[in-house]
A and B are shown apart, each in its own frame.
Chain A
Amino acid sequence: MTEQLSNPETQKQEIIEQEQTERTKESRMYVPRVDIYESDEAIHILADIPGADENSIDITLEKNVLTIEAEVQAEKPQDYSLMYAEYGIGGFRRKFNLSNEIDQEKIVAEVKDGVLKLVLPKSEKVTQKISVKAAKE
């Protein structure tokens, strides 16, 4: 799993591009807060992405890297202007490395009230274990 959250604040954490690539759009991007838990059958990811809905979420899986990306349209109340801001509005992005034990074909995602829920079922193929013998001299 990548991208550690460094500050445990109630404030959203803005993404600072550390790699060479930058986004072309000038909108802000934040790191969504997540809960990740594992049951016997699956790994569950819950991510807070307020302002995003099923049409603006993009989940991609490439070479074991799961990327959650959500666009958030800044919805201004019509004719009102922002007077005071405690939070910024922008999209969300976070990447996770998945292990091979996930059945990548059967990942299920749903969103409700700004919370994305991902269920990553564990694959039935059990990783082959190689027993190590003590070498005799």
Chain B
Amino acid sequence: MIYRRKSSPSLWEEMDKLQRDMNRMFDSTLMNRLSDRPLNSHDFPAMNVWTKADAGQVITAEIPGMNVDDLDIKVVGETLTISGSRQAPVDDENIRYHRQERGYGSFTRTIQLPFPIDVDKVEANYEKGVLKIWLPRAESDKPRKITVKAI
């Protein structure tokens, strides 16, 4: 779930980090093995949300090692859904795993956008393992400027 804030980014980041650390403390006892656990579909991929006054938003997500064809981005109304699957690593009888920390499998993430977007102008690119989605705000939703006339 994406929510908005207005405070300074650094302070927020610290708060966020603290919260994650707390979550980690409580979670670690329950799932302390990464190897057997596919990607947690609820919180993957982690997203950063960028905004520009009335222009809209840009969402970035780190999803390394994806095949672009396996990525699916959908926008319905004010809801954005990113889904896809990361291919399982090599499975061969002749290899032995020493470590397996990278997740794989399918994931879906849905977020609520704060405004309707211009669906035709949504753009996405995938570079160096980072997905970037441009979500321009719908023209009809943009605030109108009201000129004040001097009498």
Q: Does A38 contact B (CB under 8 A)?
A: yes
Cα(A86)–Cα(B49), bound, Å: 9
How far is the CB of B59 from the nearest CB of chain A, in Å? Answer: 9
Cα(A9)–Cα(B47), bound, Å: 15
Contact check, B102 vs A51: say whether CB atoms are below 8 A apart.
Answer: no
Count A interface residues, CB 8 Å: 44
Segment 80-126 of A: residues with Cβ below 8 Å from B: 80-89, 112-115
Segment at the B interface, from A29-37, A60-68, A127-135: A29-37
Knowing A86-B16, A88-B13, the reply to whether A9 touches B50 (Cβ < 8 A) is no
Cα(A115)–Cα(B131), bound, Å: 14
Count B interface residues, CB 8 Å: 57
Q: Does A20 contact B (CB under 8 A)?
A: no
Residues of A with C-beta under 8 A to B62: 12, 50-51, 87, 114
Minimal Cβ-Cβ distance residue in A for B104: A35
Cα(A12)–Cα(B64), bound, Å: 12
Query: Given B4, B47, B50, B89, which contacts A35 in the complex, CB threshold below 8 Å?
Result: B89
Cα(A50)–Cα(B129), bound, Å: 5
Minimal Cβ-Cβ distance residue in B for A8: B34
Cα(A81)–Cα(B9), bound, Å: 9
Q: Does A40 contact B (CB under 8 A)?
A: yes
Segment 118-145 of B: residues with Cβ below 8 Å from A: 126, 128-130, 132, 134
Query: Given A33, A81, A113, which contacts B126 in the complex, CB threshold below 8 Å?
Result: A113
Contact check, B13 vs A85: say whether CB atoms are below 8 A apart.
Answer: yes
Cα(A85)–Cα(B37), bound, Å: 24
Could you tell me which B residues sit within 8 Å of A by CB distance? 2-5, 9, 12-13, 16-17, 20, 24, 27-28, 31-34, 37, 39-40, 43-44, 46-52, 55, 57-58, 60, 62-66, 89-90, 92, 94-103, 126, 128-130, 132, 134
A-B contact pairs, 7 of them (CB 8 A): A50-B128, A75-B130, A85-B12, A86-B47, A87-B46, A87-B47, A114-B129
Could you tell me which A residues sit within 8 Å of B by CB distance? 1, 5-12, 33-40, 43-44, 46, 48-53, 75-77, 79-89, 112-115
